[in-house]
Amino acid sequence: MSDEGSDAKSGGKTFIGNAPEHCQLFDVVHKLALLLKSELDDNEQFNSFLSKLNETRQKIQQTDLAALMPPKQRSKAKFMSIANLVRWPLKILEAQRQGNLKSKVSNEQFSKYFGWIMSYVDDLEVWHQQLVVVEHVKERIRKEGFSQALVESVDQEFLYSKATKASVTNFQGEVLDFLQEESCKLIPGEVLPLVTEVMESGFGSYKNIAGRGGQGITGNAVRIASIYGQEQSVEESTKNLESKSTVSLQDWVGKTIGETLQGMRRTFFKGTKIDSSLESALN
């Protein structure tokens, strides 16, 4: 199984050449991201939407509305993480509808910084539904594994999903074509993972730790602390750390620093979770 990168693809072909009883499968997460890329990368409306996100982020990141900033866009593997970009404006509209923004955002401010979202509402519905298709397939494979039986089940789900937008039904067809093509390589009754997320997560964690020199947050904080203030013995440092509870520290932060951006986000977006189930999104 590979993400079809040139090195992995070449290595897989070499291996299969020496062991023809095996086959090479496409990692479903990467393939679905490529299908989204094919669908949206040259879409003028989608690229205009991304530009608006960047523009809004730049306008409010240094203001008291910074907690409402759109997510930062990735330069690499963009289509593996676009769900947050598409759902951010939906959450903004829902937060406004519920009245979560009243105390901090005037009508004039909302219109100035977020009014543009309304011109993308129809497109956002389509993109959200396409993302729901992707996430539904990934979640089923994560839980059940990849098999011919699963592909048949997904085929039936798509058939009865009642999606009305042509671009969504066409996208469902592309996803199903991929699943059926890969399932033909399986032995009847065989169940495989078809995702490399766990392995890649492990690699990512290793890189993060290695990049920090193995110190992590605690190690770096101790280094910084050693530069400032009165020199303390190990015993004194231990006593000071143990005498301060997490609750007291949080209380001090709240009184001294004030509400954090994360805290404000929780307030603004409370109750705005976007339903991403296949049944709700496509029926």
3-state secondary structure 36-87: HHHHHCCCHHHHHHHHHHHHHHHHHCCCCCHHHCCCCCCCCCHHHCCHHHHH
CB atoms inside a 10 Å sphere around CB 127: 25
| Identity of the residue numbered 272 | T
Tokens, residue 162: 């009642």
Q: What is the mean pLDDT of residues 258-267?
A: 82
Q: Can you spell out the DSSP letters for 77-139? A: SGGGS-HHHHHHHHHHHHHHHHTTTTTT--HHHHHHHHGGGGGGHHHHHHHHHHHHHHHHHHH
Q: What is the mean pLDDT of residues 231-251?
A: 78
Q: pLDDT tens across 209-234, in order?
A: 556 554 454 555 554 454 455 667 88
CB atoms inside a 10 Å sphere around CB 65: 21
Residue 280: inside a domain: no
Same domain, 177 and 230: no
- Output the pTM of the full model: 0.76
Same domain, 28 and 164: yes
Q: pLDDT tens across 177-214, in order?
A: 999 999 999 999 999 888 776 666 665 665 665 565 54
Parent domain of 227: 211-241
Q: pLDDT tens across 54-109, in order?
A: 999 999 999 999 999 999 998 887 898 899 999 999 999 999 999 999 888 999 99
Of 47, 50, 62, 68, whose CA–CA distance to 113 is shortest? Answer: 68
CA distances from 104 to 65, 92, 94, 226 (A): 8, 13, 15, 40
Residue 189: inside a domain: no
Same domain, 19 and 123: yes
Same domain, 35 and 115: yes
| The pLDDT value given to residue 227 | 45
Same domain, 16 and 134: yes
Residue 192 backbone phi and psi in degrees, to 5: -130, 160
Tokens, residue 249: 């520290």
Tokens, residue 18: 């020496």
Q: Domain count for the chain, please give it.
A: 2
Residue 274: inside a domain: no
Taking each continuous run of H as one helix and of E as one strand, the counts in the chain are 14, 0
